[in-house]
Amino acid sequence: MDEKVVKELKRGTLEMVILSLLSESQQYGYQLVSEIDRRSQGMFGLAEGSLYPVLYRLEDGGLIEARWEEREGRGVPRKYYCVTAAGLDMLEQLKKQWQGFVTAVDNLLGGEGNV
């Protein structure tokens, strides 16, 4: 598939994916990258560069919030993100839209296959 199309698909779904992961537990940036990579079995191939702007945008929009956590020893503090109540509402809306979208596309593709 055209690389640009795949990129757009990932971009369009990344906010929903991040909100979903953060609704399970608070995570820091690189942890999110690793988790997305693991669960998508490398399909997302998410570079850190694509992650941080989305995190900052969600934070500015009040959909997630962050807190700094000191680490033991001389470890550098980490910024953990968790989803807010507004973020959970948004996640529910996005999930519904996504499921509707997938169903619609499946129907269209299935219809094409039956011709």
Residues at the contact surface with another protein, assessed by CB under 8 A: 28-31, 47-50, 52-53, 56-57, 71, 75-79
Let me know: does 11 contact 82? Beta carbons within 8 Å.
Answer: no
Give min distance, CB of 108 to another protein, in A: 33
Buried/exposed code over 18-38 (b: 16+ C-beta within 10 A; e: otherwise): bbebbeeebbbbeebbebbee
Give min distance, CB of 54 to another protein, in A: 8
The residue (of 72 and 112) whose beta carbon lies closer to another protein is 72
The residue (of 49 and 111) whose beta carbon lies closer to another protein is 49
Give min distance, CB of 75 to another protein, in A: 8
Give min distance, CB of 68 to another protein, in A: 8
Strand order of the sheet with strand 27-28?
Answer: 27-28, 78-83, 64-69
The residue (of 28 and 88) whose beta carbon lies closer to another protein is 28
DSSP state of 77: P
The residue (of 12 and 100) whose beta carbon lies closer to another protein is 12
| CA 62/CA 69 separation, integer angstroms | 20
